[in-house]
């Protein structure tokens, strides 16, 4: 697939110990596979940790949305450490506060509420992606 600098890079949390980490990944997949597949790209946090050249190039040259599962905000910190210049930092907890009935449970497999929370978060990411796409269009 051809990659362009107008794509938004989405980086979810890599945490495996809590449901909020799973929500961050599910939301990222919702965005890149379902909601905005043509204008987004997923980058694995572990590749940034390693200093993988392709991953670093992606975050340096494109707008980035990070989705963190806890207050340690590894995804946001790693994106900035990797050289990202434009980072929008989202946290699952903030979306959960807006949707308190959607309490996520399960780690390997989220419950229905967790998947709904992920979709709500994904829609927030999609709005940001649309802002980037609109800006690119107006810059052209």
Partner 1 sequence: MPELPRRKVGIVACSGEEIAEGTVTRLAALRVLHDLRPEDTVTICLPLFLAGGEGDRAFARVYPTVTIDGCEKRCAAHGTATYSAPPAGSLVVSELAAGCGLGPIEGRRRLNDAGRQAVEATAERAVALVDELLKVPRARRFTATLPSAGP
- 43 or 102: CB nearest partner 1: 43
By the criterion CB under 8 A, which residues form the site for partner 1? Answer: 12-17, 25-26, 28-29, 33, 42-50, 52, 72-75, 77-78, 81, 107-108
Q: Provide, rounded to whole angstroms, the least separation between the CB of residue 94 and partner 1.
A: 19
CA distance 127 to 108: 28
**Residue carrying structure tokens 């989705």:** 67
CB 89 within 8 A of CB 12: no
- 51 or 134: CB nearest partner 1: 51
Cα dist. 108→8, 47, 65 in Å?
Answer: 27, 22, 24
Q: Provide, rounded to whole angstroms, the least separation between the CB of residue 133 and partner 1.
A: 22
CA distance 89 to 75: 9
Copy the structure tokens of residue 82. 């990797």
3-state SS assignment for residue 16: coil
Q: Provide, rounded to whole angstroms, the least separation between the CB of residue 43 and partner 1.
A: 7
Q: Provide, rounded to whole angstroms, the least separation between the CB of residue 97 and partner 1.
A: 23
- 12 or 63: CB nearest partner 1: 12
- 10 or 133: CB nearest partner 1: 10
């Amino acid at each position: 697939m051809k990659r362009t600098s107008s794509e938004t890079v989405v980086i979810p949390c890599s945490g495996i110990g809590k449901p909020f980490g799973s929500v961050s990944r599910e939301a990222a997949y919702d965005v890149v596979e379902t909601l905005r597949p043509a204008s987004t790209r997923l980058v694995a946090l572990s590749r940034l940790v390693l200093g993988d050249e392709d991953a670093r190039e992606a975050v340096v040259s494109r707008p980035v949305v990070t989705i963190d599962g806890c207050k340690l905000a590894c995804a946001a910190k790693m994106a900035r450490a990797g050289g990202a210049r434009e980072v929008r930092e989202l946290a699952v907890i903030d979306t959960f506060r807006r949707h308190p009935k959607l309490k996520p449970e399960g780690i390997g497999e989220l419950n229905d509420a967790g998947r709904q929370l992920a979709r709500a978060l994904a829609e927030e990411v999609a709005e940001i992606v649309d802002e980037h796409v609109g800006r690119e269009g107006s810059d052209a």
